[in-house]
Amino acid sequence: MAMFPAFIDIKGKKCVVVGGGKVATRKIETLLKFEPRIVVVSPEISERIQALKWEDKVVVIKKKYSSEDLEGACLVIAATDHSSVNDRVFQDAQKSGILVNIADDPDKCTFIFPSVIMRDDLVVGISTSGSFPALSKMIRERVEQVLPEFYEGIVGVLKDCRERALREIEDVEIRQKLMNRLLDEVLFYEDAIPFEHLMQRIDCLFEEYKNEKNH
């Protein structure tokens, strides 16, 4: 069954990862992009997780999982090699109303961990609802080709343009025309265009549409 896509704010919130192997490491790497407080619970951890601990990016508790580890968590991911441990995590999370994802077991997930593409505030999540994760990865790789790194700065520029338009142009129709034009001319600029030229073009467009208001 297809799952409804939702985006949630996890910045500064406790996210628990039970397990310390390769799968857990991949999940942690993705979560870190969204700045949560990550707590890893596992007797053994990968070298990468150890490095993240040294960098103070994650908290590591080297022990076997217990239900108390979920206290205060907004979501939990279980990625251990032991189905009995994963089952306990799922049951405990269900009882506490915590979002839970059990790696490679879609029947024990209240949320799906998607393939993620991130360009500044632009986030694309791709999921097959747990049916065939490899397809999500393949689609992500193809979408990344049409969302170049150039988009990193552009999303912030467009956000500023929207706020500026709300301040400077009262007419809703003119403002919408301006925003559509900005999308056409700013979003699809080649990444070789110098940033200062891009900003000059934006200023020209604002003047053009501000003048249209007066005609």
Residues 185, 187, 189, 192, CA torsion sign: positive
For the stretch 18-38, pLDDT in tens is: 999 999 999 999 999 999 999
Nearest-angstrom CA–CA distance, 16 and 180: 42
For the stretch 46-93, pLDDT in tens is: 999 999 999 999 999 999 999 999 999 999 999 999 999 999 999 999
Q: What is the pTM of this model?
A: 0.80
Q: Residue 23 belongs to what H/E stretch?
A: helix 22-32
- Tokens describing residue 131: 């049916």
Nearest-angstrom CA–CA distance, 130 and 59: 28
